[in-house]
């Protein structure tokens, strides 16, 4: 994960928090389960949809 404070590599089983401004990059195939507050999650999804046209 590239963030404003630098890069971080996560391994299987690790928990994480990615604040605003992160840029994910998968170095291999991965399954991810994420939990986000509903209101904030919907704001992000709406933003992504708007950027896609």
**Beta pairing partners, 7:** 2
Q: How far is CA 33 from the centre of its chain?
A: 11
| Spatial separation of the C-alpha atoms in residues 23 and 25, rounded to whole Å | 7
| Spatial separation of the C-alpha atoms in residues 39 and 42, rounded to whole Å | 5
pTM score above 0.85: no
Q: What does the chain come to in residues?
A: 53
pLDDT, one tens digit per residue, over 8-40 is 888 888 888 877 788 888 888 988 888 888 998
Residue 10: per-residue pLDDT: 86
**Is there a contact between 27 and 46 (Cβ–Cβ < 8 Å)?**
no
Residue 52: per-residue pLDDT: 92
Residue 51: per-residue pLDDT: 93
């Amino acid at each position: 994960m590239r963030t404003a404070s630098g890069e971080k590599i996560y391994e299987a089983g690790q928990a994480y928090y990615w604040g605003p401004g992160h840029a994910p990059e998968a170095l291999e195939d991965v399954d991810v389960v994420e939990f986000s507050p509903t209101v904030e999650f919907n704001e992000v999804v709406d933003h992504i949809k708007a950027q896609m046209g």
